[in-house]
Structures are given as structure tokens and as C-alpha cells.
Amino acid sequence: MRKIRTGILFIVFLFLLSCGKKSENVAKWPYGVNYEVFVRSYADSNGDGIGDLNGLTRKLDYLKDLGVGGIWLMPIMPSPTNHKYHVVDYNAIDPEYGSIDDFKRLVEEAHKRDIRILVDLIVNHTGSDHPWFKSAMEGKNSPYRDYYVWANKDSIRDQISKKSISLDSDNVTQWHAVNGDTLSEHYYGFFNGETPDLNLDNPKVKQEFVEIGKYWLNELKVDGFRLDAAKHIFPTDRATDNHAFWIWFREEMQKIKPDVYLVGEVWSKAEDVAPYLKGLPALFNFDMGYAITSVVKAGKDTIDLIGKYKAINDFYHKNSGEFIDATFLKNHDQNRILSELSADLNKACVAAGILFTLPGTPYVYYGEEIGMIGMKPDEYIREPFIWDFDANDKSQTSWEDPRYSNDETVTPLSRQKEDPSSLYHFYKKFINYRNSSRILTYGSITKTPVKITEIVSFIRELDGSHLLVLHNVSDVEVTIRLTDDLAGFKTIEFDSGNSASVRNSEVKLPAYASVVLK
């Protein structure tokens, strides 16, 4: 009897030991999983209901635990708009978010936890309240007139409202009158009149950004930048100049910080994206975000998801040996993934599973990991993170009344932490598994011979070691025969739902399961 009890105690001891043990994180920066934060909606530290830097600093342990290796902060520089993309000072922090000292503390605390910090840098335009533009508007004698792009009205008569809409802009008016003065020169503002485009043909403007880069990299110790609207530095018909601009920018930033990480937003098709890679070695893969969404939504892969991915990936690698794919499901400009998937948590899991098993550096949009929902307009895809019921967590932000995500429609993080079957635990388990796998983090990708539309499958390879990744995007169990090239995969290394099985060269994959075999 005593022996049995000792035996049981020993098993319990082993179980506790295995729970406490965390596998080694092999994802070295800039590889690893990143997290995009809208500071305003994340965590408040001073009770004004607006998220701020100190609030985010307090949540770094949460992010570390989730497995995050880098945080991309949406704009934090002073700006009159709530999203802060209309910058009026490049060398300061918006007082709503905190101070320079708060920012320094955030970076220091993040670095202590081996988390890197990226800030959004808007080079294409300033806000119309920027002192440069205020001066430029005063007339041709302003020392800042040439910081912007001006044209005589007659020379642009045919172009004033002729811009065609694009994926990232639905505005057709690109030339704007100053204070309603339609007779004088107009200024160029691709997005709208509140965001006048900077004249980056002007060496003085370029030098301003070298100095801004020095300040953020040297003084504030950020690890890199997310470059907004990267393809709009010059108008569409000057694409080659756009590519050259980023090569110049990267060289200048590397002089300041040789390992600076730059990730660009070029919201276009792959062919148009590729030439940017020499200047911006990491680019967001918009195509793949759309493709994963459509396959998971349909519950079947009729578009050859992996063939498509591999084609883009190989194409980019051909254009730049240093290319690092920046993958994501959705970002702050798109409807939230769970809303796109009809609020089906099973579908959200398999979509995230695909993201976390592909090559590149996955970006998670804040709140995705707790199943926040939201549809455009923008403020409703950027709603307050739900920390607890009844705003019991003092960090809860309240700057807007959410239309979609609240503690009735989204299970707050506090509750999800207690439930091992929650979406939060799914994300945490999957991210930490990815971080522990050298093959998933650094390996290449190839297709498999599996031809079942309900299954997204691929092989990841590194230094002769292989993993077989299988995702069931459908709502029925699927059996896959492991023959020929797949006969060597016999053991499940990771199973998202702990319910798949391998027997006699057959894998049984329950609905929406993601498994990795070795």
C-alpha cells in the first residue's frame, strides 16, 4: 500500500515537473512571433481610460508568457488623431501615451525580457498640423515650403480628382487647396488633405529622417521601424524611385545601427512588392493573410494555398537573399479575423495554426489571442483589449464604447487563463511550441502529395530534419494515409487539440485540428 502511494506521489511529482518546465526558445531576433499593439486600446496606467506606455510596460510579463519576441507599436508620436498617424513631432511621445522617460523604461523592461520594440515611422507624410507644414502654408518664402510638394493649379487641373482608388486608399483627390484658396498653388496629399506628402526629392527632408532615425535608434534604443505607406514615397509612376529611396534609407539606418530591423507596408500584389526587398528586407505578406482567411472560411483549400505561398516566397527569396517574410492574419486596417470567420473559434484556431507553422515571422494583432471581434470603420477594429469582467483589471481602457468586443461577446483574458481549452491557451501553446522548434522557425517549406481539399499540408525542413504539418480546415474528421514520401512520419510532435492519432500509417485528424509529425 505504502509503495503504491509513493508511486502515485512520484507520478504527481513528475507531472508537476513537466508542467513547470518550459521548452527552450530557439527563435532569435528578428525571428520569432511579433505582436502589434494599438497603445490607446491596450492598457491604461493612470486611470484616464486611454491606454499608455506605462500600461503596456506592466503587461510585458503577459506578452513574454505568450511567447512574444517583438512588439510593433502603432504610432506613438504626437498627433491630433486617435490613431496618431498624423504626426506633428517626430522626436516626442504623444502626452496621452506618456513621456520620453516612460518610453525609455518600456524599451529597457522589454529588452530585459528579450522582447524587441519596433515603432511605426511615417515617412511619406506629416500631419497638416506639423510645424513644417504650418510654415510651408504661409507661402513660397517659407524655409519649409519645399518640404512638401506644390503645384500650380493649371498644371494639375486634370489630376486633382483623378487618382484611382487602391487597396490602402479610397480617396480620389490628391491635390489640395490651402484654406480654400483655389487660385494659389495646391499641395499633394495622397491619402487626404490632412496628411500632406513630404517632398523626399529634397535632400533636407531626407536628412531630417536620418536625424529622426538617430534619435530613435541611439537615444531611445528601439530595435527597428515599421514603415508605413512605403510605396507612396513618390507617386505611383515613380516606382523605381520608391525602391531606391528605401535602399538609401536602409543604408543610412544601418550606419546608425547595423542590425536595425525594418519591416515595410507595401499593400500590393507580390510582383509589385518584390522590388522593395533590397531596401525593406521584411515586408508584410498581405496576399497570404487574404489566402489563409479565404481557405479557412470556405472550409476547403481549392486555391492551392501552399503552392501559392511557396511561389511568392521563392520569388521574394530570388529577389533578396535576406528576405524575412512578415506573415499575419489581419492588422489594424482590416476586419478582425474572428469576424471574418463568422465568430467561429474553431476556424480561428486553425487559421492561427496555419500562421504559426509557416516560415517567416508571424505578427499577431493584439486581441486576436483572446478572440476579439470587430469590423470597420477603423475604431471598431481597434477596440479596448478585454482584460477582465466589469473592467476589474485597472488596466482596462475605456476611450471608446466598443461596438463589437466587450466582456459579454469576448471571454476576458482573466477567465481564459483559467480555462485550458480557451483560445488564449491555444495561442500560448502554439506560439511557445513554434518558438521551441528550429525547423518551424528557420526551415524551408515544400508541398506534400496529399490531395484532400479539407487538408492544408506541407513539409518544413532544416539541415536534413523534416516535419510534416497537417491542418484540417473542415468540420469533419479526415483520415490521411502516410505512404511513399510521407511514410517516414510516424510520431505526433504537436497536436493542437490532443485528439489526433497515428496508427498503421494513417493519421486521423479531427475537425479543425492542426498536427505536426516527425
Residues that bind Ca ion (CB under 5 A): 44, 46, 48, 50, 52
Nearer to Ca ion (CB atom), residue 397 or residue 422: 397
Q: How far is the CB of 139 from Ca ion (least distance, A)?
A: 40
Distances in whole angstroms, Cα of residue 315 to Cα of each of 160, 200, 329, 440: 37, 29, 21, 20
Query: Which of residues 208 and 400 has its CB atom nearest to Ca ion in the complex?
Result: 400
Closest to Ca ion by CB, 45 vs 126, is 45
Other beta carbons within 10 angstroms of residue 241's beta carbon come to: 13
CB closer to Ca ion out of 44 and 223 = 44
Q: How far is CA 431 from CA 62, 168, 482, in A?
A: 13, 30, 26
Considering beta carbons, is residue 79 or 327 the nearer one to Ca ion? 79
Peptide bond into 80 cis (omega under 30): no
User: DSSP letters along 67-112, please?
Assistant: TEEEEEEPP-S--SSSS--S-S-TTS--TTT--HHHHHHHHHHHHH
Residue of 223, 219, 210, 224 lying closest to 101 (CA atoms): 219
Which strand (E) or helix (H) includes residue 65?
helix 60-66
Chain centroid to CA 341: 19
**Full DSSP string of 145-161:** GGGB-EE-GGGGTTTTT
Q: In the 3-class helix/strand/coil scheme, how is 257-275 assigned residue by residue?
A: CCCCEEEECCCCCHHHHHH
Q: Is 345 helix (H, G, I), strand (E, B) or coil?
A: helix
DSSP string, 366-419: TTGGGT----SSGGGSSPPP--SGGG-STT---SS--SS-STTTS--HHHHHH-
Residues 30, 261 contacting (CB under 8 angstroms): yes
Which residues are designated catalytic? 228, 265
Distance CA 34, CA 196 (A): 31
H/E element, 292: helix 286-298
**What are 88's three cell numbers?**
506633428
Rounded CA separation 339/487 (Å): 39
Closest contact distance (angstroms) between CB of 399 and Ca ion is: 9
Q: Is the separation of the CB atoms in 388 and 413 below 8 Å? A: yes
Rounded to whole angstroms, the Cα distance separating 351 from 427 reads 11
